[in-house]
Amino acid sequence: MTPDAASAAPPAPPSTGLLDLLGLLVRMLAALMKSPRAFSARIVFRDWARGVMTRYGSENLVLNLGVTRLILVGGQDLSRRILEPPPRTDGFAVGKLKRKAMAVLAPHALTISDDAQWALLRPFNEAVLCAGHPHELRQAFVAQTRRAFSTPPATMESIRAAMRRAMLGIVFGDGVPARLVGEVEALFDLVQRPAKRILLGPLSRRRRARFYDTLRRGWRDSAGSQQPSLLGLAHGKAGDIDQELLLEQIPHWMFTFTGSGTDLLVRALTLVSSDPGALATARREIAAAGSLDAADSIAGLRFVEACLLEAARMYPPVTRTTHQAPAGAVAGTVRISPGMELLHSFPLLGRSDQSIAEPMRFRPERWLSAESAAAMARDFDPFLFGARHCPGRELILFVCQTALATLIGPHRLVVEVPLPADALPPAFPTGAVRFRQSNG
């Protein structure tokens, strides 16, 4: 870049200093001492970041941590410019932190692919998951989900167990060892915990080898199977893609059910049953829908779907992701240095449509108007924007919609300790959430 071009380029975001970081530390300690049981480092960090952004007059910050520097993305414009184009090493690529973590489980997964590999794997994932439209196997998936939730669960863990059962049927059909779920959850735990990855490196390699041996058998056994499943569908969509490359797409499909999918379902059930008006509306819609064993009945539950979308907006089940610009970039009014890590914090982005001082309220009706829903999604979409939009969005929402309708309707489930509907907490409670059957 010439000196004249450099002077014309927009500036980098303002950088935090030592006093800013000391302020964060003081806030953390004060919050911990004030309420140890309710302490949330994520909420303290989010509120600190908003305060620093306001002070510096910028929606984005360079976090100068001494040993490393990264950009905290808090502005919608920068977020959209990063997420909308396909991931490319000559533009915005997958972040180093995310790639290093996910490589423990699946180094060629779509979520950490760039350039030609992304262009190869994205159409395959979209075809198998039926991105952007109702899934072609949704009637079979309703049956799998309804069977998994045939008895009313009382805890978050029992809901997760039901989602495990639904996942096995939807991804593999019948006959796959249940231990496969434990294997993928343990491996994803290593993905999310760097210290644990280092400590359990040798054990994780053996676990990963065992996991992929089981996946290969499942892939082989699903060839020509008449059972409706994602794996069976994948055989017809594979084309010339190498088998090992295909197998590395499956772990993310699996974990979505028992990870972010379960979190979304639990949060939506808690929010709906904490709001008497929303609960009554949802139950009326479910009662009028017809048989919940029919995919068309589930698809017609627009208010139930709106409850899931509102829950995802308020308490994003995926809280962060990272990117980088290997060669540097100019994104609107922001200059990004080569190789600098870009950290998206979705709880930080998620409430940009309202004042921080305004109480959080559950308002699923805002998703019922097509115009309002489009505006909400433009402002913040927990399923990401543009080319990086989650290809499994419609599928996981449909599965959660089936489960939520079953829990609210036939099972009459409500949360034991409702959240205050007039002023919801800034973070979803981290403690145990329990549910009970209601008579009303």
Domain of 423: which CATH number?
1.10.630.10
What average pLDDT does the structure give for the chain?
88
Helix, strand and coil content of the chain, in percent to the nearest 5, comes to 55, 10, 35
Domain that holds residue 102: 68-437
pLDDT band at 350; cut points 50, 70, 90 = low
Burial class from Cβ neighbours inside 10 Å (0-12, 13-18, 19+) for residue 2 reads: exposed
Give the per-residue pLDDT at 353.
Answer: 46
- Round to whole Å and give the CA distance between 63 and 57: 15
pLDDT band at 3; cut points 50, 70, 90 = very low
In a domain, 31, yes or no: no
Give the per-residue pLDDT at 5.
Answer: 45
Look up residue 308 and give its two tokens.
């899931």
pTM of the model: 0.90
In the chain, the number of structural domains is 1
Residue 106 has pLDDT above 70, yes or no: yes
How many angstroms from the chain centroid is the CA of residue 11?
A: 32
In a domain, 209, yes or no: yes
In a domain, 39, yes or no: no
Helix axes 230-237, 201-222, angle to 10 degrees: 80
Give the per-residue pLDDT at 46.
Answer: 86
Residue 291 has pLDDT above 70, yes or no: yes
214 close to 183: Cβ distance less than 8 angstroms: yes
pLDDT in tens, 214-267: 899 889 888 877 889 999 999 999 988 999 999 999 999 999 999 999 999 999
What secondary structure letter does DSSP report for 387?
G
User: CA–CA distance from 93 to each of 169, 238, 246, 404, 426 (Å)?
Assistant: 34, 25, 21, 36, 31
pLDDT in tens, 179-198: 888 888 888 888 877 777 77
In a domain, 37, yes or no: no
Q: What is the mean pLDDT of residues 111-118?
A: 95
Q: Give ∠ CA 308-310-311 in degrees, rounded to 5.
A: 65
- What share of the chain in percent tops pLDDT 90? 58
In a domain, 4, yes or no: no
In a domain, 91, yes or no: yes
- Round to whole Å and give the CA distance between 119 and 309: 28
pLDDT in tens, 352-401: 444 455 678 899 999 998 888 777 777 777 888 788 899 999 999 999 99
In a domain, 328, yes or no: yes
pLDDT in tens, 10-56: 888 999 999 999 999 999 999 889 888 778 888 888 889 989 999 99
Of these ranges, 231-235, 302-306, 328-332, the one predicted with the greatest mean pLDDT is: 302-306
Please tell me the total number of residues recorded for the chain in this structure.
Answer: 440
Give the per-residue pLDDT at 384.
Answer: 83
- Round to whole Å and give the CA distance between 74 and 345: 7
Give the per-residue pLDDT at 357.
Answer: 53
Give the per-residue pLDDT at 413.
Answer: 97
In a domain, 408, yes or no: yes
Burial class from Cβ neighbours inside 10 Å (0-12, 13-18, 19+) for residue 350 reads: buried
Beta carbons within 8 Å of 154's beta carbon, 6+ residues apart: 434, 435, 436
pLDDT in tens, 59-104: 899 999 888 889 999 888 898 899 899 999 999 999 988 888 888 8
Give the per-residue pLDDT at 8.
Answer: 65
What secondary structure letter does DSSP report for 155?
B
pLDDT band at 2; cut points 50, 70, 90 = very low
265 close to 413: Cβ distance less than 8 angstroms: no
pLDDT band at 317; cut points 50, 70, 90 = confident
Residue 139 has pLDDT above 90, yes or no: yes
